[in-house]
Structure 1
């Protein structure tokens, strides 16, 4: 390795908190720092929000049948529920596709 490249690797490694030799030996003890919620928590929250949106839309539709909500409110809620459902289906399709890709990998 050229001394300049070694200096660059060392400075980048120092910024990451890793020894430059770890990159050469292939042994790394670098663990990512996660400040936010986990992936499963995010999916759980999205699912809860989607169910709440669908329930709200249903409640607005029932209120309209009883004469307590306007047609505009019903249309807005139904459109929101439709977008939420389409998003949930798209996320599901991506998750299934990712699982299928992983299952095709050779070990």
Structure 2
């Protein structure tokens, strides 16, 4: 099981990881928890939309764009909350 992903230089601990490769391009789906303390930094990062994606445990690196994104909770501004984020990234054609 892959335990972390890097988006740009931000390390994110994962609770779920799935990968596919179609026509030589990766699609990666991940699930991770975001605390109210980390919410602003993660939200700001995800607004970029495109990232240098690294999966060190699988020696995978690519430039990826958000294809799908969802969260289980929207009030992460409230203290001591934890939301589950689901994110699918698709490798850009190079």
TM-score between the two structures when normalised by the length of structure 1: 0.18
**Which one has a larger percent strand, Structure 1 or Structure 2?**
2
Structure 1 or 2: more helix by fraction: 1
Q: RCO greater where, 1 or 2, for CA within 8 Å and sep 6 or more?
A: 2
**TM-score scaled to structure 2, two decimals?**
0.20
